[in-house]
A = this chain, B = another copy of it.
C-alpha cells in the first residue's frame, strides 16, 4: 500500500461525503492547516466525482480507490479506477468562465494541487495529486514504534 490510509468505495455519489471525511481526517491527523485542508478535500472530491461521472459513465456497480500518504513535505493522494482510459494531462484546462455550466473540476484540481500525475497501470487509471507542504508534516510513523496496551 503506498499510503497509510486507503479507502475503496462503490462508484455511487452517496459515498463521496464519507470519502471527503477521510481526506479531512487524514489532513487533521498529519497537522495540515484547516484552510489548506478545505482546498485539498475539494481537489480529491472532484477527482472522485470525475471517475464516477466520466470514467464509469454513471455506472454505480464499480469501485474507486483513494490512497492517502505523506512523505516528508509531500502530501500525496492516489485515485485509482478501472474505467474508461483517460489522461487528465492530455486535456486543455482553460480558466472557467461564468457562462459555462460544467467544466470546473479539472481546473480546481490543477489550481489547488501542486502536481497532477497520471499513469495507466494494467487495467487501471491512476491519478496522483500532490501538494508540497510549507513545513514537514507530522511523520506518519509507519513502523516507527510501538504502542503499549495497558
Q: Which residues of A pack against B, CB within 8 Å?
A: 1, 4-10, 12-15, 17-18, 21-22, 25-26, 29, 52-54, 57-61, 63, 101-102, 140-150
Q: Which residues of B contact A60 (CB under 8 A)?
A: 141-147
Considering the complex, give the chain B residue whose CB is closest to the CB of A53: B149
Residues of B within 8 Å of A18, CB to CB, are: 5, 21-22, 25-26, 29
Our pick among B15, B29, B58, B146 for the contact of A14 (Cβ within 8 Å) is B29
**Contact present for A150 and B101 (CB under 8 Å):** yes
Contacts of A101 in B (CB 8 A): 150
Q: Is the CB of A12 within 8 A of B58?
A: no
Q: Does A5 contact B14, Cβ atoms closer than 8 Å?
A: no
Scoring A54, A61, A148 by chain B CB atoms within 10 A of each residue's CB, the highest score goes to A61
Q: How many Å from the CB of A1 to the closest CB on chain B?
A: 6
Q: List 17 A-B contacts (CB under 8 A).
A: A1-B63, A5-B7, A5-B18, A10-B141, A10-B142, A12-B142, A13-B147, A14-B29, A14-B141, A18-B25, A18-B29, A22-B22, A59-B143, A60-B141, A61-B142, A61-B144, A102-B149
